[in-house]
Amino acid sequence: RHVAIALGHHSDDNIETILMKILRGSSLTSLQGISKILVDSKSNLVKFRPLLSFAKSELVDYLTDLGLDWREDSSNASCDYQRNRIRNRLVPLLEELAGSPKALSERFGELSLQSQMLQEWIENEIRTGDIKEKRLLNRKELTFCKEYSSSSLSPSSSVSLSPLVHPSPKTFFLNLSEPVLVQRERLARFLSVAKGGHPVLARSVNQIMSKLGDSSSQRRVASVDLGKGFRAFCEGDNAVSVMHEDGLKMYCNN
């Protein structure tokens, strides 16, 4: 038995969500708005949002015509938070440029739909290739220690490989026969999992893709800072490993 809750999110909330993702540097497959229906299988709770097709101004006009009052969080008017600044400053400007709130809602609705379609296509490519997350391996051949130091290693630096002494970091191998878009999506998922579920910026994926196949020699590894203390190491054409700086220090000092 499920319990259903109707939530009052409208198309402006959708637009704000997508704009925040764009400003964070999210990938194309992440530029989707708020889900209309969300089912929590553990609690049997169903959340649905029947007003996502309507702009806030439309809802306000409708309630005003009926002479009905509504409640609004007073903090919404504050610009202390990024989402509020987007809501109060950016969205009104975009609505003006688009011609109307409805027009802007339609533009972002189409963007969200295309993002969803792209994600579904990539999901199908992944299922067809039958590779999925099993590419997140513990590989014992790839290590990179001797020249590591936390003070000198920069996102553009490289380190030499040393003989294996300890278990190596988790390593992902790109399938170069796949479309580049699928490779990027697989890489982004691997990086997120390797970081313990933390999001990965498209910028980091771009840096890694540009470094693969561009090492100075086969025995050197290019490094990319992923944030949150995590670092990716790129070797050859398709190998990417991730370690946290604490584990890397301990790993390379032994």
Structure pTM?
0.69
User: Which one, of 42, 63, 46, lies nearest residue 54 by Cα?
Assistant: 63
Task: Quote the pLDDT of residue 229.
Answer: 87
Hey, which of 132-136, 226-230, 243-247 has the most confident mean pLDDT?
Answer: 226-230
**What phi and psi values does residue 72 have, to the nearest 5 degrees?**
-140, 135
Task: Quote the pLDDT of residue 199.
Answer: 80
Q: Residue 50 — pLDDT band, cuts 50, 70, 90?
A: very high
Residue 95: count other Cβ atoms within 10 Å of its Cβ.
19
- Between 64 and 181, whose confidence is greater? 64
- pLDDT exceeds cutoff 70 at 254: no
Task: Quote the pLDDT of residue 114.
Answer: 94
Q: What is the pLDDT of residues 218-229, one digit of tens each?
A: 456 788 988 888
Burial of residue 23 (number of CB atoms within 10 Å: 0-12, 13-18, 19+): exposed
Task: Quote the pLDDT of residue 130.
Answer: 53
Task: Quote the pLDDT of residue 129.
Answer: 67
Q: Can you tell me the mean pLDDT for 23-47? A: 87
Task: Quote the pLDDT of residue 19.
Answer: 96
Task: Quote the pLDDT of residue 26.
Answer: 84
Q: What is the pLDDT of residues 93-115, one digit of tens each?
A: 999 999 998 899 999 999 999 99
Task: Quote the pLDDT of residue 133.
Answer: 44
- pLDDT exceeds cutoff 90 at 67: yes
Encoding tokens for residue 1? Answer: 């038995």
Q: Residue 249 — pLDDT band, cuts 50, 70, 90?
A: low
- Between 216 and 192, whose confidence is greater? 192
Q: Residue 128 — pLDDT band, cuts 50, 70, 90?
A: confident
Query: 15-24, 112-121, 237-246: which range is least confident on average?
Result: 237-246
Q: What is the mean pLDDT of the chain?
A: 79
Q: Can you tell me the mean pLDDT for 44-59? A: 90
Task: Quote the pLDDT of residue 64.
Answer: 95
Q: What is the pLDDT of residues 145-178, one digit of tens each?
A: 444 444 444 444 444 433 333 334 578 888 888 8
Using the 8-state DSSP alphabet, how is residue 168 labeled? P
Task: Quote the pLDDT of residue 14.
Answer: 93
Distances (CA, A) of 69 to 58, 66, 150, 199: 14, 9, 59, 40
Name the pairing type of β-strands 45-48 and 3-6.
parallel
